Amino acid sequence: MAQSVLLTGAAGRVGEAILGGLADDYEWRLLDRDPPTEDYPGEFVVADITEDETIREAMEGIDVVLHLAGDPRKTAPWDSVLTNNIDGTQTVFEAAVDAGVEKVAFASSNHAVGHYETDERTPEMYRADDDYLLDGTEQPRPGNLYGVSKVAGEALGRYYHDEYGISVVNVRIGNLTENHPPIDYERGQAMWLSYRDCAHLFDRCIQADYDYEIVYGISDNDRKYYSIERAKEVLGYEPQDNSAAHNDD
Ligand SMILES: NC(=O)c1ccc[n+]([C@@H]2O[C@H](COP(=O)([O-])OP(=O)(O)OC[C@H]3O[C@@H](n4cnc5c(N)ncnc54)[C@H](O)[C@@H]3O)[C@@H](O)[C@H]2O)c1
């Protein structure tokens, strides 16, 4: 029988990419505080992730959670990331553990390490001949309060894994765009994640066996300063796209 997957933030862009690739592959329970505007597979729960009781109900019978819901703005103010990204993520982990969920994949962000991009290194680090790489073992260095909230989400995952044994993978997503990488934006090209690689990566987060992991969620771009080796090794991630292939478009 197909695994039951709860997708929070299902009405957003990352949710769209995941469902675009995997709609028929799992028993989906979708959750968002915004109702859906398009057709969707499975059941749709309209709820806020800070609503403890509703989130507990939404976890019933779930094998894997893909937790995307949150404020994705790099300029998001503290009160919003505190509520949506930190408090909401704690509510999701607590309910997941109590419901016996096996795995949680958490949508972290490149902004968890944004302050590695110091003035001295940019823009060379966005270019293919610079071998500078972050691989997920480095200390977090958030570049804004949104990034701080993602580091907090990763720490919540660490705690719930160590305390209760739930499997957790944090995907530090780069720059997701549909069809084409960002144009005239080297940083965005270096951390581009295509829709199909996004769907495949989260598919691997559902399927693979892991304990606690931090991986980077980008395509196999020529220009990259995030390593995808850990995602390949632990998750079996095999990206098909490369922003450099679009240079002449
Ligand atoms: N898109 C990217 O390139 C990117 C990059 C790095 C990280 N991320 C992370 O991936 C996740 C999804 O991002 P996205 O681009 O799809 O954003 P989005 O804004 O398109 O989608 C987020 C969804 O979460 C929902 N949501 C927000 N707060 C909620 C709450 N308290 N309760 C219930 N639902 C709530 C929103 O209604 C929205 O539908 C976010 O956590 C974001 O930080 C995205």
The DSSP bridge pattern shows strands 4-8 and 27-32 to be: parallel
Band of the pLDDT at 249, cuts 50, 70, 90?
A: low
State yes or no: 108 annotated in a binding site. Answer: no
CB 48 within 8 A of CB 58: no
The pLDDT of residue 118? 80
Contacts of 17 (CB under 8 A, 6+ apart): 176, 178, 195, 196, 198, 199
Compare 124 and 28 and report the one with higher pLDDT: 28
Measured CA to CA in angstroms, residue 181 lies from 12, 118, 209, 221, 223 at distances of 18, 23, 30, 10, 12
Distance, in Å, from the CA atom of 6 to the CA atom of 43, rounded to the nearest integer, reads: 10
HSE-CB at 146 with a 13 A cutoff on CA atoms is 15
Point out the catalytic residue in the list 116, 146, 195, 225. 146
CB 22 within 8 A of CB 197: no
In order of their start, the domains of the chain are 4-246 (3.40.50.720)
Residue 220 has φ and ψ, to the nearest 5°, of -85, 60
Residue 124, pLDDT > 90, answer no
Band of the pLDDT at 130, cuts 50, 70, 90?
A: confident
The pLDDT of residue 17? 98
pLDDT, one tens digit per residue, over 173-183 is 999 999 999 99
Is 146 tagged catalytic?
Answer: yes
Q: What mean pLDDT comes out for the span 80-108?
A: 98
pLDDT, one tens digit per residue, over 43-57 is 999 999 999 999 999
Band of the pLDDT at 248, cuts 50, 70, 90?
A: low
Query: How much of the chain, in percent, has pLDDT values that exceed 70?
Result: 98
| Atom 9 of ligand 1, residue of closest alpha carbon | 107
Token output for 109? 């962000």
**Which has the closest alpha carbon to 42: 95, 1, 92, 5?**
5
